[in-house]
Each structure stands twice: as C-alpha cells, then as structure tokens.
Copies of this chain bind each other. A is one copy, B any other.
Amino acid sequence: MSKGTLLITGGAGYIGSHTVRHLLEQNERVVVLDNLVFGHREALPLDRVSFVEGDMADAALLEKVFSEHQPEAVLHFAAFAYVGESVTDPLKYYRNNLAAPLTLLEAMQRHGCKRFIFSSTCATYGDPVRIPIDETHPQAPVNPYGASKWMLERVLRDCGHAWGLKSVFLRYFNASGCHPSGEIGEDHNPETHLIPRILMAATGEIENITVFGTDYATPDGTCIRDYIHVCDLASAHALALSYLRKGGETVAVNLGTGRGFSVKEIITTAEEVTGKKIPVSFGPRRAGDPSELIAEPKLAKEIIQWEALHKDPREHIESAWKWMSGERHGRYSA
C-alpha cells in the first residue's frame, strides 16, 4: 500500500481545505488544483502543499499536472453548489460540475490514475420517499445541482466498467462547522448556509436571517436537516482513500450523523453559544426544500469504517463561532 501524491481539486474551498489539512496531518503528499473562483489561497498551508491555480477544464494544464505529479488518486471537491442558482442557470452547473470533470477524467485515464473520491450529495436523492435515507433510496434529483452530481456518479461508474476506475461517492448531508483551531473555516460569497448566516446575524454583519417555511410537518414546523461536521467529512475522505488503497470497489456512502435538527433548534443553540439574540424573519417555503433530510450512515461505517464524531450541532456552532468571532471574522480576505 504505497502512498502516492494526491490531487485535490477545489482544495482551497470550504470542505477541500479542511480535508487538505487532515491529509497533511496524516503525512500525505498533496497537490491542490483550484481556480480560486470560490476557493481561498489563504485556506492553504502554501509551505506544505503544491498549489496549482487553474481550472480543471484546462486540458493542457491537467496534462502538465498529471505528468509532473503522477497522482495516485484524485479527491474531487471542485464544484458550484448554489442550489437556487442551479435552477436559474443550469448550463453553468452542467458546464462546471459535469463537463469540466470530464477533462479531469480524461487525464486520469491517459495517466492510468484509477482512484477517485467524489464529493457527491444527498441532493442526488431528491425529495425523500423515506427517512432516514439510505444509499438504496431512489435518486431523482429535483434541481440541476443535484442532477449534475448524480450524472457524474453515473459517468464514474461507466469509467469503472471501461477502464477500471474505482470511485467512492461520498454523499454529503448538510456540511457545517469549522476547524476547531479557528484557523480555517467557511467563507462563501454569497453565504447561503444556515449556521454561518445565523452567526453573521449575531455579529451584525447581516441584519437578520430568514427562515423559509414554518408550516412543515415537523415538531416545530421548520425544516429538519442532518448536520455533518466538516472535520468529519475530512476524515471520511482519508478513510475512503484507505478503502481504495486496499482494493475496494466503487461504492456510494452517505455522510451524515443519522440525527436531524430543525432550523429553530439550530437558532436556539446558536443563541446559547453566542449569548446573543438572533434577529429572525419568517418567510414562505422555498421551492425544492424537503421537510426532512436525515442520513442512514450505517453503510459508511461498514464499508469505509467511518463514523461522525461531532454529532452535536452545538459543537459545529461553537467551532463556526470561533472562526466567525476570531481575528479573521470569518473571512480570508477583507
């Protein structure tokens, strides 16, 4: 089980940068490819990673990266992830999340690189027909974001049959939290995720947050989600890599805690953590928001020996608050 170089696309982004940090702690050799459209150079320890600024759709650049580094495996994070935008501008999502990775895969095929760890999503399931959602749940994505990820899963399976590519599809539920050091964290522009928005409201960076829908069939009427800590996502990538290094076959696993929390519960916990009252306005439901999304995470334990360690969203909020109230104020650059 030799440890070769890992190519990490989107490694300067939220989940990518946390995974890079985790992999470096495990003495992995890492090359990050990121076009910095959403990633942050400051999220990377530039003394310890090879950083290539560029786009994975750039075939000449990919050829150069593969020739120079001969990566053993690719961890593919680079993607656009604004669900609402994907509905209004689908071609942008199919271009970036589906067509661009073909260039990456073409380079992998040419260079005989046959391990792929893919940031997939619970959005590939669409509206759940049962809760918790296991990996046999039908995949019927309701927006182009989810569809673009779902299609790439199919492409990867077909590459498996054709030329032996082995992939792990990590279907993330709701990523949240930041590194406990407070040194790296979540910095999206625009920010649409619930916890950072709540904390931005706590610091006064935004006026208030809007809760979309209070009439769902849930105990308090607000949507329930399975919040998975970004450091747990990072460790899942390392374990997926071990699994492939041991000869594992292509598999899809959910990354979630198996527990759900409502929007109101998250707000209340954030008020406790920050000691501040969060200004909230209530709006109508958003199209395409299911009432409940909760993972059945058993398979990930069975197949890649992974389990979420940070199951309490209080911990997610605390780490995010450390990042948000720390010296960077939740931003890599002013």
Contact = CB atoms under 8 A, between A and B. Distances in A.
Given A95-B102, A99-B102, A151-B151, A90 B144 contact: no
B89 A162 contact: yes
Contact of A99 (B90, B98, B109, B154): B98
Contacts of A61: none
A48 to B, nearest CB: 33
Contacts of A131: none
Contact of A90 (B91, B151, B155): B155
B99 A162 contact: no
A159 interface: yes
Interface residues of A, number: 22
A91 B95 contact: no
- What is the oligomeric copy number? 2
Which secondary structure dominates where chain A touches chain B? helix
A213 to B, nearest CB: 21
A295 interface: no
Contacts of A151: 98, 151, 154
A311 B99 CA distance: 39
A105 interface: yes
Interface in A131-170: 144, 147, 151, 154-155, 158-159, 161-162
Given A98-B98, A102-B94, A106-B95, A87 B155 contact: no
11 contacts: A87-B162, A90-B155, A90-B162, A91-B105, A94-B102, A94-B155, A98-B99, A99-B99, A144-B155, A144-B158, A151-B151
